[in-house]
Amino acid sequence: MYQCIVVDDEPLARQRVVGFIEQHPGWQVVAQASEYNEAKELLIKHQPHACFMDIDIIGGSGLELAHELADKLSCQWIFSTAYSDFAIKAFEMEAVDYLLKPFESHRVTSALSKVEKKLHNRAMNRPDVLAIKSIGSVEFVNVEEIFWVKGSSNYVELHCQDKVLLHRETLSKLELQLNPKKFVRVHRSSMVNLQRVKSLSSELGRYSLLHLSNGDEVKISSAYKNNLFGRLGLDLN
């Protein structure tokens, strides 16, 4: 089931888009928002596959919000507006589609189909091996050997059983390359291989620490907790 969030400051416009999405099999609207900060919080919390984003929202611009979240989630953006002026900027941000209001249900269906195709192609092209370049050499690591990943600016640390490899890539871009059924974001700056999770413990009465089978501990951010627990089949709220 694909998940989607709808952001628009006009309630009737939101309801209309939600209605169109609900007609499309395999899609679920997990949240709605009308203003910048609310949308930001919901997008980070739910990590949806796609977002229908109005460009003119309360408290800011939908384009600015998408840009701000570029390194925090791998969401497919579908922008909507009554003006064509922002189309070039939207597609420079690799938007899947740009809908001019008022639009009909077939445009929403077309946009969702584009998202599905893009996600399918990405899934088919995920590598089993990563090439890690260093000075004078290239090391190959099987993605199954990665226990967890820590982001640091334009680099990531790949934590394996008995070594840590530095890879020149952003966390958000690496996340797109890895299988989402196995790797899940648990913090703004880290993600883990679910197959390497051994146990879960609490700090100050809250479940906020993952213990991996190599002995490493990884903190869980509240923004990613619900998604992680759902992936682990847990209800610990």
Residue 237 lies in a domain: no
Is 60 exceeded by the pLDDT of residue 237? no
100 & 151 share domain: no
Residue 188 lies in a domain: yes
Lowest mean pLDDT among 1-5, 40-44, 50-54, 152-156: 152-156
Query: In the listed set 102, 124, 146, which residue is the last one of a domain according to the structure?
Result: 124
For residues 157-173, one letter each, b for 16 or more C-beta atoms within 10 angstroms of the residue's C-beta and e for the rest, the string is: bbbbeeeebebebbbbe
Query: In the listed set 67, 90, 124, which residue is the last one of a domain according to the structure?
Result: 124
Number of other residues whose CB lies within 10 A of the CB of residue 91: 13
Residue 11 lies in a domain: yes
Average pLDDT over the chain, rounded to an integer: 89
Residue 86: enclosing H or E segment and its boundaries? Answer: none
64 & 149 share domain: no
pLDDT in tens, 154-204: 789 999 998 999 998 888 778 878 888 889 989 888 999 999 999 998 765
Query: What's the number of domains the chain is made of?
Result: 2
Domain coverage including residue 168: 129-231
- Highest mean pLDDT pick, 5-9, 24-28, 184-188, 221-225: 5-9
Measured between alpha carbons, how far is 82 from 80 in angstroms, rounded to an integer? Answer: 7
Q: How far is CA 134 from CA 137, 139, 183, 224, in A?
A: 5, 8, 24, 32
pLDDT in tens, 190-215: 999 999 999 998 765 677 899 999 99
CATH number of domain containing 108: 3.40.50.2300
Length of the chain: 237
113 & 169 share domain: no
Four-residue CA torsion sign, 224, 29, 112, 82: negative
114 & 49 share domain: yes
- The pLDDT value recorded for residue 202 is 77
95 & 133 share domain: no
- The pLDDT value recorded for residue 204 is 59
pLDDT in tens, 84-94: 999 999 998 88
Sheet holding 217-219: strands in order across?
A: 197-203, 206-212, 217-219
Residue 236 lies in a domain: no
